[in-house]
Amino acid sequence: MPPPADTIERPAAALAAPYNEMFEASDRPRPHYKLLQERLTGFGMEELQRRQLAADQSFLQQGITFTVYGSDEGTEKIFPYDVLPRIIPAREWDVLERGMTQRITALNLFLHDLYHDAKIIRDGVIPAELIYTCKHYRREMCGVDPIARNYLTVVGSDLVRVPSGEFAVLEDNLRVPSGVSYMLANRSVMKRVFPILFRDYGVRSNDHYCQELLTCLRELSPVTHADARIVLLTPGVYNSAYYEHAFLARQMGIQLTEGRDLVVHDNVVYDRTTAGLRRVDVIYRRIDDDFIDPVAFRSDSLLGVPGIMNAYRAGNVVLANALGTGVADDKAVYAYVPQIIKYYLGEDPIVNNVETYVCSRDAERDHVLKNLDKLVVKAVGESGGYGMLIGPHSTKAQQEEFRELILANPRNYIAQPTLSLSVGPCLLGGSIVPRHIDLRVYVLHGKRVRIVPGGLTRVALREGSLVVNSSQGGGSKDTWVLHQEVAR
Amino acid sequence: MLSRVADSLYWMSRYLERAEHLARAIDVQLHLALDEAPAFASVGWICLLNGLRADLPAHLCADDRAVTDALTFDRSNPSSIVSCIAQARENARQVREQITTDVWEELNRLYLAVTARNIDSVWKSGPHEFLRSVQRGAQLLAGVADATMDHAEGWQYIRLGRFVERAMSIAWLLDAHFGLRSLEWEGEPTADDFVAWSGLLRSFSAFEPYCKSHTVELRPNRILNFLLFSAEFPHSMRFCATQIHSAVSAIGEWTGTPRGATVRRLAGKLESELAFGSLDDAHAVDLAETLRQYVRRCLDVHNAVYRRYITYTVDEALRESDLDAVNR
């Protein structure tokens, strides 16, 4: 595997000038950032740093951490937090909301189709080979009918702003997307650190996320009575997102459960309680498909629950997200999402994809091989910033390595133009500097789609870096969606 | 409540109680060492280590600083203060959605405060402040748990853990203490006697409450009577036994099944032995044997709780209840 992209030296001026979130001209802030700029000037640097310190202290004391695999210096780390907010005007959010609702609706229909009649393949819109070679395709799901035909209950899509200023979807996370707890934690710290600024801005609340999530899960319950038992299934305390699992369970008031707490008897799932075994109806699972049932999938795993797949197929328990959703976030399938939206909804995408070359298509592969120094190449099954070649930042040797990898297994690679993510202001080392950011939006989908305003804005903290993943030195900041348009 | 959760809450609480007891006992011993005749100096530590069931090399007892380090900051000693607090926090982390944010944050704060220090920094400024802060942290946590958590099943496991741990540390420390010192003495008590006996009382925060009941005349039999049988003093064996019995009764009611009968019977037995016991009985049998009997009774309750609520097998559970009737 090549080294993480961030360790590669940055070439000078390889990228187009990025969109600046705060300034429309070198000295003129955009209308919705004007008030922030005035206040920042009023605070002065010392005061800002004092508040940053207060925020860091708050994260530490609350123990808001993530786990780094294979790290020597203690496994728990604080997710770096930048105190300056990212601000999204109401009009832009409206587009995103409609676009994401459309996208999730189409992807959900797509999944149902794939695991039933597969009309989209028969109609020649998407090649059969692409689907059936996908490592996240689950034959076990064929013919299974999830309640409300719901495959995608929680989706986290990564959006970037391209230089023109438009948002585009960089990728969808349809399996067990994480990070929403940081969105909520960032907000609560922000309200403590900048209460007056926050109030004066008119920011839409995101406090109700957990209630909305629980509502979605409840809508999928196989039993009609209101006291359906809903639990969150976590791989346990060593998982990198364990903090989030515990946080969500606590905020929803549901039980945090590990595989070893659950047993399946006669195709019914029970948990082991001090009062004996009790039936479980809905499981918000944060364990990957591969590990959820050692009988059906990986027998070497102890994280999951033996027999749970059969209970699921028998309709005795709901798993959210459904199994097998990963086939629709394969990076090569992603390239087809605009066609998928068109096919199922008869509409054009409201939020576009980033231009993508699929290496299994001959012409596109040739183009990629000729332009390895300009493109970002990604392995389709990887996430977290691994398995990537960032062309303009790479050496000849690395490009050669990827050429061979692509030729050996074209299905496994896609390429995209090197995007210059937009930059937003960050408080770092005693000054305010621009850093590249993206946006993960969380979409909830029960019987209908619900999107809580905002999301997780991730920041590439190192100068020039485009890598925002927390596992590779990224941080985050609060995302403000405004109630009203700001007058120019 | 999940069995695993009950297990974690119980141990979180036991580790905290242990850390608090350790901090107080070390603090008392360091303080006593100032007044003790040099010949006695290591006797106090030996007594303390026996009472903690701590398996540490004997030569440490000659060196206040080394023994304090081993009992406070040594991560390789699983029963040092820092290890206990780390284990309490680890247990809490596993059940974070079951405890309130207030409890979690206090515990996290205590953990950060303890891990930020070491013997060098503490010894220089005098360890008293630090050891007091550990006690205060643990007491604050107990208070925050009482004030912010539902007094439901999870809280009962926290209470159970606290008082099982406390009861056993009382029995062990008394055993160690009376193993080294006679219950009777001839003539007037000496200054050294006063130091040793007041130290025992202070190890359980009992000096002032004892004086209120019996004045400052320290008499071994009265002290023993107070630490074993006082109904009101929260660090007496009897008080702990009452709390244990009350906690397992509440747990039995919460789980709503007759499964808890054995547990309640054992806890009731422990409580009645203390409620209706007396020093004469204890001496008639032999004090050491009586103390060990109390420890065995605590372990019986502990084991029964585990068998009934936590480590039962799925087969047992299936045999016991008609699942369809119970669930739907």
Residues 6 or more apart whose Cβ sits within 8 Å of residue A190: A55, A83, A85, A198, A478
Decide the pairing of beta strands A357-358 and A318-320: unpaired
Complex ipTM > 0.85: no
In this prediction, residue A4 carries a pLDDT of: 40
Across the interface, whether the CB atoms of A275 and B256 are under 8 A apart is answered yes
Please tell me the distance in Å from A378's CA to the nearest CA on chain B. 36
pLDDT tens for each residue of A425-443 = 999 888 899 999 999 999 9
In this prediction, residue B181 carries a pLDDT of: 76
Q: Nearest CA to A62 among A252, A189, A194?
A: A189
pLDDT tens for each residue of A215-260 = 999 999 988 757 799 999 999 988 888 889 999 999 999 999 999 9
Across the interface, whether the CB atoms of B109 and A61 are under 8 A apart is answered yes
Could you tell me what percent of chain B has a pLDDT over 90?
A: 65
Is A247 in a helix, a strand, or coil? helix
- Tell whether the model's pLDDT for residue A282 goes beyond 80: yes
Torsion angles phi and psi, residue A138, rounded to 5: -115, 105
Residue range B83-90: average pLDDT? 96
Chain A residue whose CA is closest to B154: A274
Q: At A12, is the pLDDT very low, low, confident or very high (cuts 50, 70, 90)?
A: very low
- Tell whether the model's pLDDT for residue A336 goes beyond 60: yes
Please tell me the distance in Å from A188's CA to the nearest CA on chain B. 13
- Tell whether the model's pLDDT for residue A383 goes beyond 70: no
Please tell me the distance in Å from A210's CA to the nearest CA on chain B. 13
Residue range B118-136: average pLDDT? 93
- Tell whether the model's pLDDT for residue A8 goes beyond 50: no
* Highest mean pLDDT, choosing among A74-78, A236-240, B14-18: B14-18
Task: Tell me the DSSP string of A362-389.
Answer: HHHHHHHHHTTTTEEEEETT--TT-SEE
Q: At A422, is the pLDDT very low, low, confident or very high (cuts 50, 70, 90)?
A: very high
Q: Which position has the higher pLDDT, A85 or A79?
A: A85
Could you tell me what percent of chain A has a pLDDT over 70?
A: 92
For residue A63, the chain B residues in CB contact (below 8 A) are 93, 104-105, 108
Torsion angles phi and psi, residue A257, rounded to 5: -125, 140
Single-letter residue type at B195? V
Across the interface, whether the CB atoms of B314 and A265 are under 8 A apart is answered yes
Bond from prior residue into A321 cis (ω within 30 degrees of 0): yes
Across the interface, whether the CB atoms of A272 and B108 are under 8 A apart is answered no
Q: How far is CA A195 from CA A188, A189, A202, in A?
A: 10, 10, 11
Task: Tell me the DSSP string of B79-141.
Answer: TSHHHHHHHHHHHHHHTTTTS-HHHHHHHHHHHHHHHT--HHHHHHH-HHHHHHHHHHHHHHH
Average pLDDT, chain A: 88
In this prediction, residue A20 carries a pLDDT of: 93
Please tell me the distance in Å from A158's CA to the nearest CA on chain B. 28
Please tell me the distance in Å from A351's CA to the nearest CA on chain B. 37
For residue B97, the chain A residues in CB contact (below 8 A) are 246-247, 249-250, 255-256
Is A280 in a helix, a strand, or coil? coil
In this prediction, residue B186 carries a pLDDT of: 63
Please tell me the distance in Å from A257's CA to the nearest CA on chain B. 8
Residues 6 or more apart whose Cβ sits within 8 Å of residue B282: B224, B228, B290
Q: At A94, is the pLDDT very low, low, confident or very high (cuts 50, 70, 90)?
A: very high
In this prediction, residue B254 carries a pLDDT of: 86
For residue A275, the chain B residues in CB contact (below 8 A) are 1, 254-257, 259
In this prediction, residue B324 carries a pLDDT of: 46
Of B5, B153, B321, the CB nearest to A276: B321
Token digits of residue B5: 């959760």
Q: Which of A10-19, A235-244, A313-322 has the lowest mean pLDDT?
A: A10-19
Q: At A471, is the pLDDT very low, low, confident or very high (cuts 50, 70, 90)?
A: low
- Tell whether the model's pLDDT for residue A296 goes beyond 50: yes
Chain A residue whose CA is closest to B106: A61
pLDDT tens for each residue of A162-198 = 888 999 999 999 999 999 999 999 999 999 899 999 9
Q: Cα separation of A384 and A334, whole Å? A: 17
Decide the pairing of beta strands A431-445 and A154-161: antiparallel
In this prediction, residue A234 carries a pLDDT of: 95
Q: How far is CA A69 from CA A77, A177, A224, B94, B105, in A?
A: 11, 18, 41, 18, 25
Residue A190 in contact with residue A182, Cβ under 8 Å?
no
pLDDT tens for each residue of B311-323 = 998 888 887 765 5
For residue A270, the chain B residues in CB contact (below 8 A) are 323, 327
- Tell whether the model's pLDDT for residue A142 goes beyond 90: yes
In this prediction, residue B303 carries a pLDDT of: 96
In this prediction, residue A152 carries a pLDDT of: 97
Please tell me the distance in Å from B38's CA to the nearest CA on chain A. 43
For residue B153, the chain A residues in CB contact (below 8 A) are 274
Residue range A198-213: average pLDDT? 94
Q: Cα separation of B72 and A259, whole Å? A: 36
Chain A residue whose CA is closest to B322: A277
Burial string for A13-48 (b: 16+ CB within 10 Å, else e) reads: eebeebbbbbeeeeeebbebbeebbeebeeeeeeeb
Compute the count of residue pairs across chains A and B with CB atoms less than 8 Å apart. Answer: 95
Please tell me the distance in Å from B168's CA to the nearest CA on chain A. 24
Is A488 in a helix, a strand, or coil? coil
For residue B251, the chain A residues in CB contact (below 8 A) are 274
Predicted TM-score (pTM) of the model is 0.85
Of B95, B312, B327, the CB nearest to A279: B327
Of A63, A255, A263, the CB nearest to B2: A255
Q: Which residues pair with B40 in a beta bridge?
A: none
Max CA pair span of chain A: 69
Across the interface, whether the CB atoms of B321 and A277 are under 8 A apart is answered yes
Please tell me the distance in Å from B82's CA to the nearest CA on chain A. 16
Q: How far is CA A400 from CA A28, A276, A278, A412, in A?
A: 44, 60, 57, 16
Residue range B124-134: average pLDDT? 92
Q: At A465, is the pLDDT very low, low, confident or very high (cuts 50, 70, 90)?
A: confident
Q: Which position has the higher pLDDT, B38 or B215?
A: B215
Q: At A368, is the pLDDT very low, low, confident or very high (cuts 50, 70, 90)?
A: very high
Instruction: State the number of CA atoms in the 13 A half-sphere of B279 facing the CB.
Output: 11
Chain B interface, best mutation among A274, A281, A284, by max B CB count within 10 A: A274
For residue A274, the chain B residues in CB contact (below 8 A) are 1-3, 6, 153, 251, 254-255, 309-310
Of B96, B320, B328, the CB nearest to A276: B320
Of A237, A260, A265, the CB nearest to B93: A237
For residue A61, the chain B residues in CB contact (below 8 A) are 105, 108-109, 112
Of B2, B95, B259, the CB nearest to A272: B2
Of A250, A265, A273, the CB nearest to B1: A273
Q: Which position has the higher pLDDT, A174 or A301?
A: A174
Q: Cα separation of A406 and A376, whole Å? A: 13
Residue A151 in contact with residue A111, Cβ under 8 Å?
yes
Chain A interface, best mutation among B7, B97, B111, by max A CB count within 10 A: B97
Across the interface, whether the CB atoms of A270 and B323 are under 8 A apart is answered yes
In this prediction, residue A232 carries a pLDDT of: 96
- Tell whether the model's pLDDT for residue B287 goes beyond 50: yes
For residue A255, the chain B residues in CB contact (below 8 A) are 2, 5, 97
Chain B residue whose CA is closest to A237: B94
Of B2, B112, B153, the CB nearest to A257: B2
